[in-house]
Amino acid sequence: MSDDVLLQTRGSQFITRGGTPVKLHGIGLGGWLNMENYILGFPGTEALVRRALADVLGDALAEHFFERFEEVFFTDSDAAEMARLGFNLVRIPIHYRRLEDDGAPFKLKESGFAALDRAIDSCARHGLRTLIDLHVIPGSQNGFWHSDNATHQAGFWGHPHFEDRVLNTWRAIADRYRSNPWVAGYEPLQEPGDPTGRHIVEFFPRLLDAIREIDPDHILFLKGNEFGSEFEFYTEPRANTVFIAFDFAVPGTVVGRQYPGESDGSHYDRSVLEERFLQITEQARNTDTPAWIVEFGPIYTADEQFNENRYRVLSDQLDIYLEHDANWSLWNWKDIGVHGVVELAPDSPYIRCIAPALAKKARLATDAWGDDREVADVIDPLKALVRSEFPDHPNPDGWVNRLVRQILFGEPLVRDYAECFRGMTAADIDEVMSSFALENCVERKPLVDAIKRAVASDNEAAEPVAGG
């Protein structure tokens, strides 16, 4: 294994095994091997969409739909462009169903590993390391859409069958990539949400041990329970470990928030962002491990004047990371115009095709990031009722948003999305999927410029690590 490429940790820094310091400037490949609704424009969850498209198109054409999407969404051209923009790591979220079917548990699928191999090899050709992120696991590790959870309950915890399948999958991943120096490391479990806080204490040591028994070299990137707020279950410090932090700033994501300035009784400015950064990276500082912001980035719209406010949030975040010597991975590479460094052209075949479902989706605010002002007459009284009847509820507004907007409205809307493709042939599907090819997408130039400036500043400030 190449000592010049394989990453390790030394104190609060990443270094190669040969002692060369490395500052990570990553980009997330969300929406590809794990499909998320707001990234790709569908409502609900991936499993619901796959089922609805099979009903509308038939099994064969639905399979062709997803195969063409997977083939086109990420290619060698994407890897080359990522490297050109200054990224040096690609985080690859993957759904367990790419590697294993529910109907054949413990039988791993070579097709899913082949897709992962293709991405890792392509990234390596362009000098990009990769981080393998198991983003979705059987039963769902949290109650949110990004774990392909059509309910609101995290069904994984406390089920030995699910646990054994995850251990089996990670042993296979570790075995396959243990000799690949371009793999920066493994993210064993994305955003765990054990509501009891008890099961995770027992499961996580087993999970980490299972990986380490096969691969003692690659870095483990670990997230706390309850979306990073609880790290108490990591009872013993482990070598070559990094703790994950998410940094989706409120003024960069919530509708109507201004930055800097007052909004809804709260003030947001650079000092507030820095305070938040220090809070979410406390575990890294306490354990003298690298600070790693694995996801961050504002939500953008078609209104560039509005987006100026969001670019300022991003710029301040990047400055804070530089000041505190933090490594980062921006979310996300490609989407329909929400987070992406590159986005589908507004007049692309895919956007034109799903336009009716997109309009209804926006009106009903079925995405977590949605603007619910058009359904406020329905949503606001429900929120008020929950607050009144359950004054001790920790997040009444979020509870209503999840159950009503994302599930009650979102689930039947899945059918509307699928109907947009009714009657299509394989050739029609190929044309629609071509919208995701890099050459047919457009770059968000202010975001690209901010990335380039941040990478240049980080590289200029980098200092060599003493010793070797």
pLDDT of residue 257: 67
DSSP lists the bridge partners of residue 220 as 186, 241
* Alpha-carbon distances, residue 422 vs 55, 166, 418, 462 (angstroms): 10, 36, 7, 54
Q: What is the DSSP string of 266-299?
A: EEE-HHHHHHHHHHHTHHHHHTT--EEEEEE---
The span from the CA of 198 to the CA of 201, in Å, is 6
pLDDT of residue 466: 45
- pLDDT tens series, the chain, 468 aa: 666 899 999 999 999 988 999 999 999 999 999 999 999 999 999 999 999 999 999 999 999 999 999 999 999 999 999 999 999 999 999 999 999 999 999 999 999 999 999 999 999 999 999 999 999 999 999 888 888 888 899 999 999 999 999 999 999 999 999 999 999 999 999 999 999 989 999 999 999 999 999 999 999 999 988 866 688 777 677 899 999 999 998 888 876 667 887 766 678 899 999 999 999 999 999 999 999 999 999 999 888 888 998 999 999 999 999 999 999 999 999 999 999 999 999 999 999 999 999 999 999 999 988 889 999 999 999 999 999 999 999 999 999 999 999 999 999 999 999 999 999 999 999 999 999 999 999 999 999 999 999 999 988 877 554 444
The sign of the torsion formed by the CA atoms of 228, 232, 235, 239 equals positive
> Does 191 qualify as catalytic in the annotation?
yes
Crossing angle of helices 445-461/304-323, nearest 10°?
10
Q: Name the catalytic one among 36, 81, 191, 343.
A: 191
List, for residues 303-328, the tens digit of each pLDDT value. 888 899 899 999 999 999 999 999 99
The span from the CA of 354 to the CA of 334, in Å, is 17
List, for residues 186-199, the tens digit of each pLDDT value. 999 999 999 998 99
- Helices (H) then strands (E): counts for the chain: 19, 16
**Tokens found for residue 79:** 């890897």
Pairing, β 219-222 against β 241-247? parallel
For domain 7-32+74-341+444-459, the CATH superfamily is Glycosidases (3.20.20.80)
Q: What ranges in 103-186 are assigned the alpha helix state H?
A: 110-125, 160-177
What is the C-alpha radius of gyration for the chain, rounded to an integer number of angstroms?
Answer: 21
Contacts for 430 with CB less than 8 Å, ≥ 6 apart: 68
Q: Name the catalytic one among 100, 295, 443, 460.
A: 295
Task: For residue 10, give the H/E element and its range.
Answer: strand 7-10
The sign of the torsion formed by the CA atoms of 46, 47, 53, 56 equals negative
Helix (H, G, I), strand (E, B) or coil at 335: strand
pLDDT of residue 465: 46
Helix (H, G, I), strand (E, B) or coil at 30: coil
